[in-house]
Amino acid sequence: MGTTQQGGSQHGIARTSRARTEDEKLQELAKIEKYRQLEDQVRFHAAQNNYTPEVFQLTSKLLRLNPEYYTIWNVRRRLLISGLLSKPSAGSSPSTASFSTSPTATTTTSSDASSSSLSTATPPAPASPTAGRSGTTADEDGSQGQNKDFDILKSELGFTIPLLLESPKCYWIWSYRLWILRQAIQRLQTSVARRIWEEELGLASKMLTKDKRNFHAWGYRRHVVQQLESPELGGTSMAEPEFEYTTKMINADLSNFSAWHSRSKLIPRLLDERKADDEARKAFLDKELGLIRDALNVGPEDQSLWYYHHFLMLNLVSFVGHPTITPAFTQEDRVTYVLREIEGVKELLEDYDDKLIYEALLDYTLYLCQLEERQPEAGERADLVVWLRKLMVIDPMRSGRWTDMEKNYGLMERRLSMGDETVALVH
């Protein structure tokens, strides 16, 4: 590969510096010259509001060389709005075939007002086309316009793909892609727009297959799902399939914070949609606890698993003021479950020695005390001390924390003996 990328940094692609021969230096200077010319051309035409197909091609070239040049993405948007895409139906001239070089800057609901260094003297924009045209009022020009828009929007999505493959974390490309997708909602029939967004979900899945823990991709996925669920795309809740998706991702790789996190976020809605009664909720909790216990059984060193287990424990213990899985549990139920979980965690100590196990035992014992609104009993206190001592050996970097905790127990003992009952449990 002889090419060197010009322009700003390319995310994650290292710039290798190596000795260049005279020949290579000349070649590079030539490339830089070509790039500069291209850039000057585009900026010139943009400043003149020359929105022609030729200029559009120039932006394609420039963006391929430097996808991070966000001004040029904005120029491209303006090119689309000002002529390549059809005009909105309400009242304006349906001149879809030709397009003018004068600024007609119709307002869209996209958020690139920041880009305009021109077209301040625009005629008042006609009313934005309502989202999700149903097509019933479409005259021949209208449906032709939609077909054209469809082709252009699909083509634009395709344009971003090779750029994304090379620079998968470039915000500007993603931003443009999202803008195009929003255009789809506004300009195309609901069913057509919906299909495009469904394909987008497929893309998000593909990305997550390549990099299961890319939290940008998870965030993107959530956004896409949100759109698909929205009335604008005639959608309904996707809590079930998304929950199933997290199961799939977890099975592929247990160590997936984002998948476990997504899962936890979906649960309240899921249970509501299922209209789960108390029995169903209990069964659901049992299943989740079983799942995470199986996972911890093979991955006790994995923090993401412990986070999820904590999440489930907090469901049992800290249930005032927020939705929980089993709101109808009695105090007795909760205590039973917490005790059972503590026993389950202790079983791990038969074969494992990871510090996260001891930390969990500490936390859960304190949760139990919190739940029962009491201090640790003598037996529990003895256990706590043993676990703390163990942690001081395994995790000496945090000895300060462990010492603090032990002091607090020591403190509590002193205070208790002095009859102070308002001692808060220090975590």
Partner 1 sequence: MAESLSDTLWDVVICGTGLPQSLLALSLSRSDKKILHIDPNEYYGGAEAAFSLQEAGTWVNRLSLPTEAGSTRGVFRAASITKPPTASTSLSFPRAYSLALAPQFIHARSELLSQLVSSRAYRQVEFLAVGSFFIIKPASAPTSAKPTIVRIPSTREDVFSTTAISAKAKRVLMKFLKFVVAYDSDPQTELWQQHADTPLADFLHEHFKMDAELQTYITTLTLSLDGRISTKDGLAVIHRHLSSMGVFGLGFAAIYPKWGGLSEIAQVSCRAGAVGGAIYMLGTGIKNTTTTDGEIRLELTSGDSVKTRMLVRGDETVGGEVGISRLVAVIDSTLKTLFEVVVEGAPAPGVAVIALPAGAVTTAGGKVSDSPVYVLAHSSDTGECPVNQSVLYLTTLSTTDSKDVLQAALGSFLTAVSEDRVPDVLYELYYEQDLGSVESQTEDMIFHFPGPSLSLSFDDRTLGPVREAWEKISGGEAVEPDYMIFTDREGALDDDDVYD
Binding site for partner 1 (CB under 8 A): 1-3, 31, 34, 61, 64-65, 209-210, 248-249, 251-254, 294-295, 297-299, 347-348, 350-352
Q: Shortest Cβ distance from residue 24 to partner 1 (Å)?
A: 13
Among 86, 88, 81, CA closest to 98: 86
Q: Shortest Cβ distance from residue 202 to partner 1 (Å)?
A: 13
Among 404, 368, 376, CA closest to 388: 404
Q: Which is nearer to partner 1, 5 or 370 (CB)?
A: 5
Q: Which is nearer to partner 1, 350 or 373 (CB)?
A: 350
DSSP class of residue 130? P
Quote the CA–CA distance of 307 and 265 in Å, as a whole number: 13
Q: Which is nearer to partner 1, 11 or 210 (CB)?
A: 210
Q: Shortest Cβ distance from residue 176 to partner 1 (Å)?
A: 19
Among 151, 148, 134, CA closest to 97: 148
Q: Which is nearer to partner 1, 38 or 138 (CB)?
A: 38
Q: Which is nearer to partner 1, 157 or 348 (CB)?
A: 348
Q: What is the dihedral of CA 322, 325, 328, 330, to 10 degrees?
A: -90
Q: Shortest Cβ distance from residue 102 to partner 1 (Å)?
A: 32
- In this structure, what token pair is assigned to residue 274? 């299922």
Q: Shortest Cβ distance from residue 328 to partner 1 (Å)?
A: 30
Quote the CA–CA distance of 233 and 346 in Å, as a whole number: 50
- In this structure, what token pair is assigned to residue 226? 């949100």
Quote the CA–CA distance of 42 and 56 in Å, as a whole number: 9
Q: Which is nearer to partner 1, 249 or 270 (CB)?
A: 249
Q: Shortest Cβ distance from residue 400 to partner 1 (Å)?
A: 28
**Distance of alpha carbon 166 from the chain centroid:** 20
The torsion region of residue 419 among left (phi > 0), alpha (psi -120 to 50) and beta comes to left
